[in-house]
Copies of this chain bind each other. A is one copy, B any other.
């Protein structure tokens, strides 16, 4: 998996400052997952967000610009091998058709947007073992007819 120089720089600075993504959430007023997306160059920050981030991490001012650019997105390899990421691929393999069937039944023909989209991660404490809770919310986009 290719990790860009900027990503490495951001991660190293965050480590040195001892900051978590949750800490940055408070500073930027943006969700920790979205901020992590900026780190991995999958989302572009506004000028103001980039300045706040650069300042919090003690980076140079001329890094602001790169963070506001529109990146070419995606991991690249067709099937991910990292086990944590693969599980999301497997969920799509196993539950993809059932999800499709239920969404169509509830909404008609269309899709859940991956652009007008938010994703939150929560820790559900559980005596039998804590759980990861992933909440996705995407606008339903009905297929246009013409």
Contacts and interface: CB of A to CB of B under 8 A. Distances in A.
Contact of A82 (B21, B72, B123): B72
A15 B128 CA distance: 35
27 contacts: A1-B72, A31-B146, A36-B99, A40-B98, A42-B94, A43-B109, A70-B108, A73-B81, A74-B90, A74-B93, A75-B97, A84-B104, A84-B110, A84-B111, A85-B92, A86-B90, A87-B111, A87-B138, A115-B141, A116-B129, A124-B137, A128-B139, A131-B137, A131-B138, A132-B138, A134-B137, A136-B136
Given A43-B145, A106-B123, A88 B96 contact: yes
State the main secondary structure of chain A at its contact with B.
mixed
Nearest to A77: B76
Copies of this chain, count = 10
A36 B93 CA distance: 14
B112 A87 contact: yes
Interface residues of A, number: 91
